[in-house]
Structure formats: structure tokens, C-alpha cells
């Protein structure tokens, strides 16, 4: 299934609409308030009128409810609901009821969306938008350590680093080097933008501190082995070392073996690709795109003929609406799970109340709680 492409101009997404974000909790209290505030902030950046309140606004084009639990199911305008995990029968029943009037239920994951579809929630009214992050996490580079001295005959293959500096992205690697005569390699690496911590002599106390901070221990020589390899393994550090000498005798000790520069380059490029894939996996999981995905859904629900270049959001609403059937066997298994959860939630809620009553006032507190329940003065 190909990705949908935008067929509207960039500024068309900013066409005036009015959005009421209905956040039922205090926006400064917990995570749901953060969703509301971040969406409001980005809607304003897009030039879209929005506000946040604990009640819907029938005069707004869109009422987006965060989250579904407190939505009364009444139609206000075009209502959309944020759906988090559905883990009890009551929650499933509630969502089905709410979607009789709400225009769309927006899940947080594809899995939940598909599960709801298989449980009988109408395909045309469910989709998913993955949550967002704040883009503030510092990036953690792969830390590679070397602890040996360069020999005049070149047997440490120090020039391998010169070549790696020309093919690797400095964004992904940091080097920690301890030992004599690595000055040229350090200079080349730094010139290419790599972060390098260099100690030009062996200092035992610092060496002991250095080894456990590494992600990988690197040794490029072909002279039977290197003692730092043993210390790295003792510290639980992964290794990229030559497949020779006593390196081979440490069962399972060589994580990435090599004997040639070409093999070493392949190892480093593979590690870089692995890191790149991790970062790329949430490239569009930011608050701007998160909000934009909602705007595309809202415009679609308001009758605009638009498409999307995201795999979640509008694309999921259109694609799920065009296919999928109720899975009877799955629904039966899932209903059993939801019923178990329902009982578990009920049980632990009651136990929690009893423990709190006992810790506060002993058996008198428990008796008072039971009496209040018998007089129907407590919620279920």
C-alpha cells in the first residue's frame, strides 16, 4: 500500500477553523494536560484558532476530547476523541456508544485501532496518531574506546581510524583513546567533527574508570591479542576486535570480529545504520507533526478533499474505513481478557480503599468505609 501524498498547498492547512480542545483534567496536572497544551501551542503556530477548556463549545468547528473517558457522548459539532488503552469491557462499551455521535476516535497506536475494529467498532470512525516527544533528549553517541600505544612498525593498524573518519558520520560516534602516539589520528578525527577524549599516556586509575564507560572496545592490531580486551569483557563491554590470538579463546567474547579494514568499516557502518534507524523511527513523532495530523483529519471530517503524506493520521482513517472485518474468534478472546481486567481493576480499587482506611483509622476506618458503601455513599 503506497503512502498518500499531499495534494494541497502548504498554507491551505492554515485555513481558518476554530478548535476547542476539551481537556477534562487540569492541564498542569499530568500527561494529558501536556497533550492539550502542546496541541494548542502548535495550532496557534499554524494560524488556527484554538482554546482549551473542560467543557465543549458547540460553536467551535471541532471539539477534540482529551480523553474519551469523560466525554458524555453528546454531539457538539465535529467531535473527535483521543482514545488511550481500552483494557476493560466498560471502556469498550463506552467508546462504542461515544462513536455513535463522535466523528472519529483517534487511538494512540495502530494495534489498538485494529483491535477496536476487530471488536466491532465501526471502521469508518477510528484511526490512530502516534504520540509525540519534546525533541529535547540529548543524543547519545556510540562510545568507542582504544587503550594501547601506537608502535613504529604500524602493527596496531592505527591508520584504520584515518580511513574510518572519512566514511562515518561524526554525529553517531565518540572516541575515547588512551595511549602514546595517537596524535595524528586524534587530529584527523577532530578535523572531521568527531568528539575525542584523548589521554596521551597510560594512567592506570583513569583506565579503570574509562573502560566501563564504553559501548565498544576497539582493538585493530594483529599481534596475538591485547590486554584491554580482557578488561573490557570483565566490565561487560562489547568488543570490536581482531579475530586472532587469545581473542579467539574467550568464548563469546568477540562481539564484532574482523581481520581486514573492509570488515571493520562494514561493522561501523552497520552500527551507524542501527543508530540512524532508531532515530528515524520517531522522526514524525513530534508535536508539530502530531498536531498537523489532527488538522488533516479535522479538515477531512469538515468536508475538504485532502490527502496526507503520513502513514498514521488521515491515511489510517481512510485505509481502515475501506477494509477490515470483525474477527469473531479474536473478539471472544479479547472479551475474556477485558472481563478479567475489569474484575482486577475492581478488586484492587476496593483493596486500595480498605488499606487506606485501615492505615488512617484502623478497624474503625474499615467499618466506616463498609457502612458508607452499604448506604450507597461511595462510587462503585
CATH number at residue 308: 3.40.50.2000
Q: Name the pTM for this structure.
A: 0.80
Residue 308 near residue 293, CB atoms below 8 Å:
yes
- pLDDT for residue 290 is more than 90: yes
Nearest-angstrom CA–CA distance, 344 and 357: 20
What are residue 74's phi and psi, to 5 degrees? -80, 145
Strand ranges (DSSP E) for 54-117? 62-66, 78-83, 104-107
What confidence score (pLDDT) does residue 331 get?
Answer: 65
DSSP string, 272-327: HHHHHHHHHTTTT-BHHHHHHHHHHHHHHHTT-----SSSSTHHHHHHHHTS----
Residue 277 grid coordinates: 534507524
Q: For residue 97, give every residue at least 6 positions away whose Cβ sits within 8 Å of its Cβ, in sequence order, or none.
A: 73
Inside any domain, residue 66:
yes
H runs (alpha helix) in 157-203: 159-167, 183-191
In a domain, 379, yes or no: no
Question: Coil, strand or helix: which one is 137?
Answer: coil
Tell whether 221 is covered by a domain: yes
Q: In which band, very low, low, confident or very high, does the pLDDT at 357 lie, cut at 50, 70 and 90?
A: low
Q: Which three cell numbers stand for residue 148?
A: 594501547
Cis amide leading into 67 (omega within 30): yes
The verdict on residue 296 lying in a domain is yes
Give yes or no: residues 120 and 234 share one domain: no
CB-based contacts of 210: which residues, under 8 Å, 6+ apart? 145, 147, 176, 178
pLDDT tens column, 131-153: 999 999 999 999 999 999 999 88
8-state DSSP, 146: E
pLDDT digits (tens, 9 = 90+) for 156-166: 999 999 999 99
Task: Please check the confidence at residue 188 and state whether its pLDDT lies above 80.
Answer: yes
Q: Determine the Cα–Cα distance for residues 261 and 129; give it in Å rounded to an integer.
A: 44
Q: What does the pLDDT read at residue 356?
A: 64
Considering the domain architecture, whether residues 92 and 148 belong to the same structural domain is answered as: no
Number of domains into which the chain is organized: 2
Structure confidence by residue, pLDDT tens digits, 197-225: 999 999 999 999 999 999 999 999 999 99
Q: Do residues 267 and 287 share a domain?
A: no
Q: Band of the pLDDT at 360, cuts 50, 70, 90?
A: confident
- Could you tell me if residue 256 is inside a domain? yes
Residues 239 and 151 in one domain: yes
**Is residue 264's pLDDT more than 80?**
yes
Q: What is the pLDDT of residue 311?
A: 93
Do the domain assignments include residue 212? yes
C-alpha cell of residue 160: 584504520
- Assess whether 164 and 269 both reside in one domain: yes
Residue 336 located in a structural domain: no
209 found inside a domain: yes
| Phi–psi pair at 266, nearest 5 degrees | -60, -40
Same domain, 236 and 271: yes
- Residue 238 and residue 150 share a domain: yes
Strands 216-219 and 238-242, bridge-based pairing: parallel
Q: Are residues 249 and 169 in the same domain?
A: yes
Q: Is 170 exposed, middle or buried (0-12, 13-18, 19+ CB in 10 A)?
A: middle
- Residue 103's pLDDT band, with cuts at 50, 70 and 90, is very high
What domain range is 190 assigned to? 142-280
pLDDT at 13: 46
What per-residue confidence (pLDDT) applies to 2?
39
pLDDT tens-digit map of 308-327: 999 999 999 988 655 455 56
Amino acid at each position: 500500500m503506497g503512502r498518500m501524498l499531499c495534494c494541497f498547498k502548504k498554507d491551505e492547512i492554515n485555513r481558518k477553523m476554530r478548535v476547542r480542545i476539551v481537556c477534562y483534567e487540569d492541564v498542569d496536572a499530568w500527561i494529558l494536560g501536556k497533550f492539550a497544551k502542546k496541541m494548542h501551542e502548535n495550532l496557534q503556530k499554524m494560524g488556527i484558532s484554538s482554546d482549551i477548556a473542560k467543557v465543549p463549545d458547540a460553536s467551535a468547528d471541532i471539539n477534540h476530547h482529551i480523553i474519551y473517558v469523560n466525554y458524555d457522548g453528546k454531539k457538539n459539532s465535529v467531535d473527535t476523541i483521543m482514545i488511550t488503552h481500552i483494557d476493560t469491557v466498560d471502556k469498550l462499551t463506552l467508546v462504542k456508544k461515544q462513536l455513535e455521535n463522535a466523528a472519529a476516535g483517534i487511538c494512540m497506536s495502530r494495534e489498538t485501532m485494529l483491535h477496536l475494529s476487530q471488536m466491532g467498532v465501526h471502521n469508518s470512525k477510528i484511526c490512530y496518531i502516534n504520540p509525540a516527544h519534546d525533541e529535547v533528549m540529548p543524543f547519545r553517541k556510540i562510545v568507542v574506546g582504544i587503550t594501547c600505544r601506537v608502535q613504529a612498525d604500524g602493527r596496531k593498524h592505527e591508520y584504520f581510524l584515518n580511513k574510518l573518519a572519512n566514511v562515518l558520520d561524526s554525529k553517531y560516534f565518540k572516541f575515547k583513546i588512551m595511549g602514546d602516539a595517537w596524535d595524528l589520528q586524534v587530529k584527523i578525527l577532530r578535523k572531521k567533527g568527531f568528539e575525542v577524549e584523548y589521554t596521551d599516556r597510560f594512567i592506570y586509575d583513569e583506565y579503570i574508570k574509562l573502560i566501563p564507560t564504553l559501548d565498544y572496545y576497539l582493538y585493530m592490531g594483529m599481534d596475538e591479542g591485547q590486554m584491554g580486551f580482557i578488561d573490557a569483557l570483565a566490565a561487560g563491554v562489547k568488543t570490536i576486535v581482531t579475530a586472532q590470538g587469545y581473542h579467539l579463546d574467550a568464548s563469546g567474547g568477540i562481539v564484532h570480529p574482523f581481520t581486514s579494514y573492509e570488515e571493520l568499516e562494514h561493522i561501523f557502518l552497520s552500527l551507524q545504520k542501527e543508530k540512524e534507524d532508531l532515530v528515524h523511527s520517531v522522526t514524525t513523532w513530534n508535536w508539530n507533526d502530531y498536531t498537523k495530523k489532527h488538522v488533516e483529519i479535522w479538515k477531512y471530517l469538515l468536508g475538504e478533499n485532502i490527502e496526507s503524506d503520513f502513514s498514521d493520521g488521515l491515511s489510517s482513517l481512510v485505509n481502515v474505513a475501506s477494509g477490515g472485518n470483525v474477527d469473531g474468534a479474536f473478539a471472544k478472546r479479547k472479551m475474556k481478557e477485558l472481563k478479567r481486567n475489569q474484575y482486577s481493576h475492581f478488586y484492587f480499587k476496593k483493596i486500595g480503599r480498605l488499606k487506606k482506611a485501615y492505615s488512617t483509622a484502623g478497624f474503625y476506618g474499615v467499618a466506616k468505609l463498609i457502612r458508607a458503601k452499604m448506604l450507597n455513599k461511595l462510587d462503585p
